[in-house]
Amino acid sequence: MAYHRFDAVIVGAGGAGLMAAIQMAGQANIAVVSKLYPPRSHTGAAQGGISAALGNTEEDHWEWHMFDTVKGGDYLVDQDAAEVLAREAIDAVIELEHMGLPFNRTPEGKIDQRRFGGHTRNFGEAPVRRACYAADRTGHMIIQTLYQQGIRHKVNFLDEFHLLDLIFTDDGQCCGVIAIEIATGEIHTIHAKTVMIATGGYGRAWKVTSNAHAGTGDGMAIPWRRGVPLMDMEFYQFPPTGLYKLGVLLSEAARGEGGILRNNTGEAFAARYAPTLADLAPRDMVSRFIVQEVAEGRGIDGKDYVYIDLTHLPPEVIDAKLPDVTDFARTYLRVEPKTEMVPIQPTAHYAMGGLPTDIDGRVIYDRNATPVPGLYAAGEVACVSVHGANRLGTNSLVDLVVFGRRAGRTMMRDLKTAPLLPLPKDPQFLAEAQLADLRNRDKGENAADIRAELQQMMYDKVFVVRSEQSLTEAAEELKTLRDRYSQVAIMDKGKQYNTDLLEAHELGCLIDCSEATIAGALARQESRGAHFRSDFESRDDINWLAHTLAYRTSGGIQLDKKPVSITRFQPQERKY
């Protein structure tokens, strides 16, 4: 067993983790642990843009951005967090520009901006150009820029180290992590004063998803097993424009540049549901529009998809502003977007829920926002909650840089007084036992089969539209899958690059995240944002204007409620 000691360890090398690391680089001894090579982190898959009320192409104000975020989240957004997001987005984007991020430019040389779903001027009056972008590769440019800054500042990177466990003292203070080095199979104990989780989401729980294979919810499930609650897990986003059957996301930038959704009759149907914003309505609503069209027989040729139409856009606009989006359609569906409409359907994309945190990135334990000492989180793995029941497009990248930066700065301040706590006895024992259980079983269940059944079940019963019946069935099926998982056996008994072992470990994390999602969705008897119950179609502010906290206990999942922070905007009906 290898031992390392740092002032701070950050698990996850996407936008949030790297932004936090840069705040501490050169001032503290820090390490960034990632199961991937950092530029392969999922931030790089984000396409359309990062919103900030710069006002470079038309009038805009941070207050408008805050309002859109709150309304887009169906008023479950903590408004103190939304104000931080909207205010600090402006400075954060300019900081990225100064780091060297190659944004598209206006003729005057300013950062160019475009429209995106749910972003409006004058508190909902009409669409506004707020999304700063680098073609349709904005996330790719952000991850490259931040990684370059990490190298420049000589951050310690532990690449291809897979998180297995968190280390806590007997009185509940986080003091390190346990990870396995993928190349050698060696277990590493990483001792630190502070720990930050920035590992992203768990989209691989669904059959049709935009998430990379690494999106397995490790950073949510492992703290949950250690008693840290998960918040608002019932809110998972299914954007409308995934490539049919594949789930590869066609960025909302396609609609921002003028793409139109069409049904089997050729009708531009979004305007029938959302007269003001039409195709630029928020993601959760547009996905439900598609589901409704399909249910009423207007899917293409009677099937479960519709088209996005880009054929009316000038070819030079498509080439300059949507190069990756259109290449995806050509590569995966053999469709030419300049002349043909592209088949699309909703796809599992983003978790609004996760580890509950305050606005400074500290993980919190209860409805009173009691911090978990030594533990921080930011990015998709965290729930601050700035997205509420539904995230607006481009706000994920804002979330990464704004709250990643705040978490890093908070850790740096806390390090000045934080002691290096002694490790508990045999801190690696639980992680080693879990891996040994998977390795040492000669015969048993196949992890890939269980994963495929989990993904199909989540797609069929915990997707855009849910009901008590579908969720109850999902909960029962998950119990069976969990029992079968306890009997998983792997074929590869070796140590070096044992992906068979690590994928089985990741499956356990997916099962945990799915269980929390189903429990929250069953309990929340209303429809709000991305959580739509066909048996409770209305929003219920009297009983459910609250966050859900899910605790894992020996007797099953225990749920609690946490109040929503309402500062400026009182809840109102969400219309576009």
Q: What is the DSSP string of 394-458?
A: THHHHHHHHHHHHHHHHHHHHHTT---PPPPSSTTHHHHHHHHHHHH-SS-B-HHHHHHHHHHHH
The predicted pLDDT at position 133 comes to 95
Identify the pLDDT of residue 104.
95
Residues of the chain with pLDDT under 50: none
Contact between residue 435 and residue 418 where contact means Cβ atoms under 8 Å apart: no
Residues paired with residue 354 on neighbouring β-strands, in sequence order = 231
Query: How many Cα atoms occupy the beta-carbon half-sphere of 82 within 13 Å?
Result: 28
| 283 counts as catalytic | yes
With 0-12 CB in 10 A as exposed, 13-18 as middle and 19+ as buried, what is 560? middle
* From 130, 283, 391, 574, active-site residue: 283
Yes or no: say if 524 and 531 are a contact pair by the CB < 8 Å rule.
Answer: yes
pLDDT at 283: 87
**Contact at 8 Å (CB) between 189 and 3?**
yes
The whole-number pLDDT of residue 225 equals: 97
pLDDT of the residue at 252? 82
pLDDT for position 324: 85
Q: Tell me what pLDDT residue 300 has.
A: 96
pLDDT of residue 1: 78
Sheet holding 230-231, edge to edge: 230-231, 546-553, 556-563
The CA distance from 402 to 82, in Å, is 11
Phi/psi at 481 (nearest 5 deg)?
A: -65, -40
Which residues face 465 on adjacent strands? Answer: 532
Query: In angstroms, how far apart are the furthest CA atoms of the chain?
Result: 68
- pTM comes to 0.94
Q: Please provide the DSSP assignment of 221-251 as one string.
A: HHHHHTT--EE-TT-EE--S-EETTT-PBPP
In one-letter notation, the amino acid at residue 422 is P
Distance (Å, whole) CA 329 – CA 316 = 17
Please list, residue by residue across 348-360, b when 16 or more beta carbons sit within 10 angstroms of its beta carbon and e when fewer do.
Answer: bbbbbbbbbbbbb
Cα 573 from chain centroid? 26
